[in-house]
Amino acid sequence: MIIKRRKSKVVKIDRIFLGGNHPVAIQSMTKVKASCVEATLKQIKELADAGCEIVRLAVKDNEDASAIKKIKDKSRLPIVADIHFDWRLALKAIDNGADKIRLNPGNIYKKEEIKSVVSAAKACGIPIRVGVNSGSIRNRRVNVDNMVNSALDYIKILEGLKFYNTVISLKASNILDTIDAYRKCSKLCDYPLHLGVTATGTPFGGAIKSSVALGALLLEGIGDTLRVSLTDNSLQEVLAAKAILSSLELRNFGPEIISCPTCGRCEVDLVKVVRDLENRLLTARASARSIKVAVMGCVVNGPGEAKEADIGIAFGKNEGLLFKHGKPVKKVKVKDCVKVLLKEMVS
Ligand code: SF4
């Protein structure tokens, strides 16, 4: 099956392109105050190392907006300034080098204020995300149609100002509403869509909710960038986003591990082997090849899966049989298997 992407306008955020045929980009947020420059830069570096491509900072006051200048100087990622309530913070963020502004139609809605932000964004050639959130819809009942109308009414204002450098998001905490809102909006305009479910919760439940909602949309070709929101370290958001995109074969982030769930037949600590392999891959992934690696607990399905993968190992007692491109190669002791598999992946 091939996913046919929705045709959308192309928007540029520093060196990252969204929309058109450009890859679905991964974004996340820092979770410290932007004015704590060193802490912010540390998180940005961790996110960039993990594969994040765009980072958003909450800009709550003048100190945060001013800090963007220093952050920009050292950041490897384009910086998006997340603005609520005070349009003047958007002007200051733009003045200090923000690569994109997120405005919430629920709390920055006065025409004159929008006009000022638009002329500053136009002058610097940076895009604006119209970020609708079900938790901050203004003067309307919270439902899907009102979320979509809230975005489209804002777009009309921007277009009235001859501004088309726009991205849209429509985040609800309810998955069905999120899917419905993005589906409707995708048919009514051709701006790139930033996908996300808001307030999803803990890493386990949140990653599942995000995978269901964003997976359904991405399968329909909807979505040009995504953020998986989790009540946890942002690194987990990036890893979840990468897993969603690679499982749909929209992006490729190095080796895919296929491992069995284990059962009473398994005679090795397969959970530990797979965890070790995954952790070691996080650092080696940049140089790893995009291959399928099967790690299987016994001879029932092990040799079959291992043969189907590029590299595989099927365990017996204390050792496993290593397969390369469907052929058995050698026996490997459990204690050496992670090292051996990694060597095969990065060679
Ligand atoms: S491969 Fe073997 S150990 Fe793993 S789940 Fe299947 S039967 Fe159990």
Tell me how far apart the alpha carbons of residues 113 and 92 are, in angstroms, rounded to a whole number.
Answer: 13
Residue 285, pLDDT > 60, answer no
In the three-class reduction of DSSP (H, G, I as helix; E, B as strand; rest coil), residue 295 is classed as strand
Alpha-carbon dihedral angle through residues 274, 276, 282, 287, given to the nearest 10 degrees: -90
Kindly state the tokens that stand for 187: 């048919």
pLDDT of 289: 67
Ligand 1 mutation target, pool 257, 258, 259, 266, most atoms within 8 A of CB? 266
Kindly state the tokens that stand for 168: 């849209």
Region 297-304 average pLDDT: 85
In the three-class reduction of DSSP (H, G, I as helix; E, B as strand; rest coil), residue 255 is classed as coil
Question: Does the CB atom of residue 125 touch ligand 1 within 6 A?
Answer: no
Distances (CA, A) of 203 to 118, 253, 271: 36, 20, 19
Domain extents in the chain: 11-247, 256-346
**Contact between residue 87 and residue 108 where contact means Cβ atoms under 8 Å apart:** yes
Write down the pTM of the prediction: 0.91
Neighbours of 94 (CB within 10 A): 24
pLDDT tens-digit readout, 89-137: 999 999 999 999 999 999 999 999 999 999 999 999 999 999 999 888 8
Query: How many percent of the chain have pLDDT more than 70?
Result: 97
The CATH number of domain 256-346 is 3.30.413.10: yes
In CATH terms, 11-247 corresponds, of 3.20.20.20, 3.20.20.70, 3.40.50.460, 3.40.50.2300, to 3.20.20.20
Looking at residue 140, what DSSP letter applies? S
Question: Does the CB atom of residue 320 touch ligand 1 within 6 A?
Answer: no
Tell me how far apart the alpha carbons of residues 147 and 195 are, in angstroms, rounded to a whole number.
Answer: 14
Kindly state the tokens that stand for 105: 């139609």
Tell me how far apart the alpha carbons of residues 280 and 258 are, in angstroms, rounded to a whole number.
Answer: 16
Domains 11-247 and 256-346 fall in the same CATH topology: no
Residue 302, pLDDT > 90, answer no
